[in-house]
């Protein structure tokens, strides 16, 4: 029986999963990947093998899969049937927030899980859903090794000035500091650079992870130096339903003049702002690009403007810039958005190769461009699998 690793990436209404085969030399090969989406509304289970051949495509009623815990049970049942009872040697999970304590992936026990649950207020859109499958599997299969892989981990070790707010030391010691997120994605890109773009791999690179959640990271010599996200996933760039950087005085105004409480502020910041709030139309860039509405154009203009502004700031943090890498949903799938971002960086010496951009890269800048630009698809699940394998081997 072959040893396998299961990767689980759970959200509020979906679960992505992958199975990797562990080879004789500890290399990992993708066996299958799938997703349960629409949990609680219009659930569906789809999976395909490594070559993209469909393995399952089922739909369910909302009452059949009302929540993530039930969805995880459905995934487990299908996997046991499909894999003929083959049990993964370990299960790796994406966990949004590791706080100041967890700098590297860890095997999860009761104490670890309790500590991670205390961080839910710092990532309320992600942490509860990341942890729910861990709890479910722990209850049903207590002897199974489960590994938590943190989106904050890659950013640990920032220079001190990039790690702090201008607040009293006591709060910093309590954990109120700049963490940064999307770390699994950035770590994957940092590892891919020597293979895809060796000329910039050890230089100063800004990676833009642009999707419904969006952030940017300054990477120098393969290490994170700074990021647009901070204490929570709210800071920095505008996102699908999150506003990004905002004057704290706006929040004080909403409290004092509009009567907002903590829950109202949380709903506002996580669900009612960003591209959706600015456009009043959609949080999806595809919808906004297809719209003739002036508000859609404004939302996209604002998004590109903030990316360009953060690009300049992160280049300044590294005292220079050798390359820009675009990754995640918007970056990987929209030539128009890539072109707009690259044209806005012309002042840095970036020259867009229009034909290469339309073709999807990987290099989308001209050969004489002072700053090169690249499109590199991210693979957070593989990064989780690699970390899980390492932790399992060390058990």
User: What does 326-344 look like in DSSP terms, one character per residue?
Assistant: EEHHHHHH-HHHHHHHHHH
Does 160 reside within a domain?
Answer: no
Does 168 reside within a domain?
Answer: no
CA torsion through residues 151, 155, 157, 159, sign: negative
Does 127 reside within a domain?
Answer: yes
Total tally of structural domains belonging to the chain: 2
Closest CA to 9 of 143, 151, 179: 151
Is 216 found in the same domain as 137?
A: no
Per-residue model confidence (pLDDT) at position 94: 95
- Report, as an integer, the average pLDDT of 2-19: 87
Give dist(CA 208, CA 38) in Å, integer: 27
- Report, as an integer, the average pLDDT of 333-354: 97
What percent of the chain lies above the pLDDT cut of 90? Answer: 81
Residue 115 burial class via C-beta count within 10 angstroms: exposed 0-12, middle 13-18, buried 19 and up = middle
What pLDDT, in 10s, does the model give residues 274-287?
999 999 999 999 99
Is 247 found in the same domain as 370?
A: yes
Is 125 found in the same domain as 19?
A: yes
CATH (domain of 219) = 3.30.420.40
Q: What is the DSSP secondary structure assignment for residue 363, as one 8-state letter?
A: B
Please identify which of the residues 151, 235, 353, 379 carries the catalytic annotation: 151
> What is the domain extent for residue 112?
4-150
C-alpha 11: how far from chain center? 11
Domain end marker among 150, 166, 201: 150
Per-residue model confidence (pLDDT) at position 395: 82
- Report, as an integer, the average pLDDT of 281-306: 96
Q: With contact defined as beta carbons under 8 Å apart, do 274 and 125 qualify?
A: no
Is 373 found in the same domain as 269?
A: yes
Q: Is the pLDDT of residue 368 over 90?
A: yes
Is 121 found in the same domain as 187?
A: no
Per-residue model confidence (pLDDT) at position 18: 95
- Report, as an integer, the average pLDDT of 369-376: 98
- Report, as an integer, the average pLDDT of 199-214: 96
- Report, as an integer, the average pLDDT of 290-314: 97
Kindly report the average pLDDT of the chain as a whole number: 94
Closest CA to 179 of 224, 218, 215, 231: 231
Mean pLDDT comparison of 9-13, 33-37, 42-46, 213-217, highest-scoring range: 213-217
CA atoms within 13 A on the CB side of 326: 31
Of 42-56, 63-77, 327-341, the poorest mean pLDDT is in: 63-77
Per-residue model confidence (pLDDT) at position 25: 78
Give dist(CA 7, CA 188) in Å, integer: 15
- Report, as an integer, the average pLDDT of 110-119: 94
Residues in the chain: 395
Does 393 reside within a domain?
Answer: no
Per-residue model confidence (pLDDT) at position 5: 95
Q: With contact defined as beta carbons under 8 Å apart, do 273 and 241 qualify?
A: yes
Per-residue model confidence (pLDDT) at position 122: 87
CB atoms within 10 A of CB 196: 17
Domain end marker among 107, 132, 150: 150
Q: With contact defined as beta carbons under 8 Å apart, do 29 and 21 qualify?
A: yes
Per-residue model confidence (pLDDT) at position 149: 97
Is 189 found in the same domain as 144?
A: no
Q: Is the pLDDT of residue 306 over 80?
A: yes
Give dist(CA 322, CA 201) in Å, integer: 9
Closest CA to 154 of 204, 95, 109, 114: 95
Give dist(CA 168, CA 47) in Å, integer: 50
Of 111-125, 225-239, 363-377, the poorest mean pLDDT is in: 111-125
Task: Enter the pTM of the model.
Answer: 0.92
Is 196 found in the same domain as 56?
A: no
Q: Is the pLDDT of residue 196 over 80?
A: yes
Q: Which residue has the higher pLDDT, 150 or 124?
A: 150
Is 354 found in the same domain as 214?
A: yes
Domain end marker among 150, 169, 191: 150
- Report, as an integer, the average pLDDT of 123-127: 87
- Report, as an integer, the average pLDDT of 16-23: 93
Give dist(CA 385, CA 196) in Å, integer: 21
Q: Is the pLDDT of residue 339 over 80?
A: yes
Per-residue model confidence (pLDDT) at position 97: 93
For β-strands 90-95 and 4-10, DSSP reports them as parallel
Closest CA to 243 of 295, 303, 163: 303
Per-residue model confidence (pLDDT) at position 185: 95
- Report, as an integer, the average pLDDT of 44-72: 91
Is 91 found in the same domain as 139?
A: yes
Q: Where does the pLDDT of residue 83 fall: very low under 50, low under 70, confident under 90, or very high at 90 and above?
A: confident
Q: Which residue has the higher pLDDT, 67 or 164?
A: 164
Does 395 reside within a domain?
Answer: no
Does 273 reside within a domain?
Answer: yes
Is 363 found in the same domain as 305?
A: yes
Residue 151 designated active-site:
yes
Is 124 found in the same domain as 193?
A: no
Q: Where does the pLDDT of residue 48 fall: very low under 50, low under 70, confident under 90, or very high at 90 and above?
A: very high
Does 336 reside within a domain?
Answer: yes
- Report, as an integer, the average pLDDT of 303-312: 98
Per-residue model confidence (pLDDT) at position 41: 83
Q: Where does the pLDDT of residue 87 fall: very low under 50, low under 70, confident under 90, or very high at 90 and above?
A: confident
Q: What is the DSSP secondary structure assignment for residue 291, as one 8-state letter?
A: -
Q: Which residues pair with 220 in a beta bridge?
A: 204, 223
Per-residue model confidence (pLDDT) at position 321: 98
Is 198 found in the same domain as 66?
A: no
Per-residue model confidence (pLDDT) at position 73: 86
Does 166 reside within a domain?
Answer: no
Q: What angle do CA 254, 255, 256 make, to 5 degrees?
A: 100
Per-residue model confidence (pLDDT) at position 303: 98
């Amino acid at each position: 029986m072959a040893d396998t690793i299961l990767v689980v990436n759970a959200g509020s209404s979906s679960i992505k999963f992958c199975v990797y085969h562990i080879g004789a030399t500890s290399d990992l090969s993708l066996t299958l990947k799938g997703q349960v989406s629409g949990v609680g509304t219009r659930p569906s289970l789809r999976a395909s093998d490594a070559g993209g051949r469909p393995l399952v495509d089922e739909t369910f009623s909302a009452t059949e899969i009302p929540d993530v815990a039930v969805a995880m049970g459905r995934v487990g049942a299908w996997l046991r049937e499909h894999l003929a009872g083959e049990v993964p040697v370990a299960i790796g999970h994406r966990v949004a927030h590791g706080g100041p304590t967890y700098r590297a992936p860890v095997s999860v026990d009761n104490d670890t899980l309790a500590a991670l649950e205390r961080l839910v207020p710092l990532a309320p859109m992600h942490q509860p859903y990341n942890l729910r499958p861990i709890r479910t599997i722990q209850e049903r299969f207590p002897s199974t090794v489960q590994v938590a892989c943190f989106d904050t981990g890659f950013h640990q070790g920032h220079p001190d000035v990039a790690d702090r707010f201008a607040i009293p030391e006591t709060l910093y010691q309590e954990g109120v500091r700049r963490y940064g997120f999307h770390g699994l994605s950035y770590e994957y890109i940092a590892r891919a650079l020597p293979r895809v773009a060796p000329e910039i791999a050890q230089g100063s690179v800004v990676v833009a992870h642009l999707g419904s959640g969006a952030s940017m990271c300054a990477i120098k010599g393969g290490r994170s130096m700074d990021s647009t996200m901070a204490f929570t996933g709210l800071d920095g760039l505008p996102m699908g339903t999150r506003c990004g950087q905002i004057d704290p005085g706006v929040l004080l105004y909403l409290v004092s003049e509009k009567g907002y409480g903590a829950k109202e502020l949380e709903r506002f910041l996580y669900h009612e702002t960003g591209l959706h709030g600015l456009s009043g139309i959609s949080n999806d860039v595809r919808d906004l690009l297809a719209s003739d509405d002036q508000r859609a154009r404004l939302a996209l203009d604002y998004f590109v403007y903030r990316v360009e502004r953060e690009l300049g700031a992160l280049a300044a943090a590294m005292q220079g810039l050798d390359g820009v890498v675009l990754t995640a949903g918007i970056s990987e799938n929209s030539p128009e958005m890539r072109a707009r971002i690259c044209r806005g960086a012309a002042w840095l010496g970036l020259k867009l190769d229009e034909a290469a951009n339309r073709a999807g890269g990987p290099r989308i800048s001209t050969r004489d461009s002072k700053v090169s630009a690249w499109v590199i698809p991210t693979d957070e699940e593989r990064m989780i699998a690699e970390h899980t394998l390492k932790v399992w081997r060390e058990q």
